[in-house]
Structure 1
Amino acid sequence: MASVASQLILHPVTSRSLKVLGTTLGRDKLYRAVQYFARFLAWALLSRGLKIEAARWNALKSHLALARKLLRLGKPLEHLQAVMRALQTSGETGEQIATIGRQLGYFGYLTLDTFVWANTVKFFNLKPSTAEKVNKNANRFWFAGILFSITHSLLKAGRLANEIKKLQGSAWSEKGAEVERNDKLRDLRSAREATRYQFTLDMLDIWLPAANIGLVNFNDGILGLCGLITSLMALRQQWIAASKK
């Protein structure tokens, strides 16, 4: 038994899981996955008339949402730093503008979300109408940030596709140059796959703030599934990153 326990505790999967959960981002994505799963399950239970069981999952969803707001305190500064870095780097103008817009959108969202958290925990009290406006504006910034992210992915995917096509159509006589071209093609294809992955994630995520500001009328089942899928996708990225450390 001791040998089995030792193998489980020291297993590489266990070690990698600890690496992921040892980061604030990793914990946030895990909490987010459980939060949106709870949202979906509460909706499913309510649709069957199981109110008591649904209340348990609704409570879990609410508490995890509040815990995640606490985890994100200070994160707006990261997005401001990203804006400054984007301003100082050179590149495609459209992609640069989209990057700046995305980071400013997330900065606005997380800044206002901090006020939502502070009001929820009664650190200070906002009028119900004011709290509703702050929450709605936070979701507007979130929606704008995702829109800019989608725009950035489309622009970048188009540029990468053109670069790949150009490299594939070029002729190389020297063996060293051919190897260099293959390396560039591999890097470009990898970047394109990462861009497509982010695009898919954003296309699912955008319905969450869109529903919050009244642009769409999706039920909690659909929104819960969208949030769960994107949370698992983001957690997968953290898992891959942890394996490289």
Structure 2
Amino acid sequence: MQINAHLNHIRAAQYACTLLGYTLQKNGASPDFLAQIKQLEAHMSLGRKLFRLGNSADALEAAKRAIHLSDMVLRFCITVGHLNRAMYFACDNILWAGKSGLVPHMDQEKWSQRSFRYYLFALILNLSRDAYEIRLLMEREVNGKCQKGASGDNSCAPREEGKLQQVALRLKLQLRLLVHVLRSNPPLLLDLAKNACDVFIPLDRLGLYKTGPGFVGLCGLTSSVLSILTIVHPWLKLKP
């Protein structure tokens, strides 16, 4: 728990440096000062990799626990997500060995790309899990309202309106229901926001969707702050 807190603080500082460097560059800061910011960011990145040397084993243990979940979709998303995280950390460890000089002739770019690919797959599975849980909660909310009003309330019955009005009304109701579900479930909202921020980082690094260092720094800083919140307030962490 304490190591995770330190890692998230270092991660927040690293992406704050990314955002700061971008802002200073836009405002015409001196090249020497920008180089110092970049060097500080690189040191923090290397420090995070050192602290994460045992995280592959933790991710594999989490995958072994998740494989016993009764819900098939959650079991798949969480288990495969943890396996991808384990591979991401393993690639990251190899990358750390190259950057620290232990393996001097290693192709760092190749291992960096592999690392970010596994990271992206893990985040896609996390977002899929979030979407699935949102759908379950929305269906439960609708079914509860319909059962409650079955004796006389016709709010769930179809209405005689034009097609466009029906589509607009349905979208409005779905959006309102989505907002209600997320407001009623802060851990799910926090997890969705964190994964949505994080996914832009590997997309940018892999060249799939270029957003630039400023946006990447903002996303990384935001997701780090949200992760720190789940450590300070454990009830905000999405379970299982």
Q: 1:145 aligns with which of 111, 122, 137?
A: 122
Q: How far 1:231 sits from its partner (Å)? A: 0.7
| Contact map agreement 2:68 2:75 (CA 8 A) in 1 | no
Q: Does 1:65 align with 2:45?
A: yes
Q: Is 1:238 aligned with 2:231?
A: yes
1:43 to 14, 19, 22: 22
Residues matched between the structures, number: 203
Report the TM-score when normalising by structure 1. 0.77
Query: What's the Cα RMSD here?
Result: 2.1
Match in the other structure for 1:110:
89
Identify the residue that residue 195 of structure 1 maps to in structure 2.
Answer: 188
Q: Which of 111, 122, 131 is the aligned partner of 1:154? A: 131
Instruction: Tell me what 2:8 maps to.
Output: 29
Indicate conservation of the 8 Å contact 2:119/2:202, yes or no. Answer: yes
CA distance in structure 1 between the partners assigned to 2:235 and 2:147 by the alignment: 37
Unaligned runs of 5+ in 1: 1-21, 172-187
Letter in 1 for 2:97: A
**Residue 90 (str. 1) matches residue 70 (str. 2):** yes
Matched to 1:46, the amino acid is Q
Residue deviations 1:3-59 (CA, integer Å, cap 9, x gap): xxxxxxxxxxxxxxxxxxx70011111111111010111111122331222222111
Structure 1 residues 242, 82: closer, same or farther in 2, change over 3 A? closer
Distance 1:53 1:112 in 2: 31
Using the TM superposition, give the Cα deviation of residue 119 of structure 1 relative to its aligned residue in structure 2, in angstroms. 0.8
Which amino acid in 1 is paired with 2:217?
G
Could you say what secondary structure the match of 2:101 adopts?
coil
Which structure has greater helix proportion?
1
User: Which letter maps to 2:206?
Assistant: I
Structure 2, unpaired ranges of 5+ = 149-180
Tell me, yes or no, if the aligned pair for 1:164 and 1:189 is still in contact at 8 Å: no
Does the 8 Å contact 2:182/2:188 carry over to 1?
no
Q: Are 1:143 and 1:206, in contact at CA under 8 Å, matched by a contact in 2?
A: yes
Counterparts of 2:63 and 2:130 in 1: how far apart (Å)? 17
Instruction: Output the CA distance in 2 between the equivalents of 1:203 and 1:77.
Output: 25
Moved more, 27-36 or 93-102: 93-102
Query: In the TM superposition, what whole-angstrom CA distance separates every residue of 1:63-85 from its partner, at most 9, and x where no partner exists?
Result: 11110111111111111111111
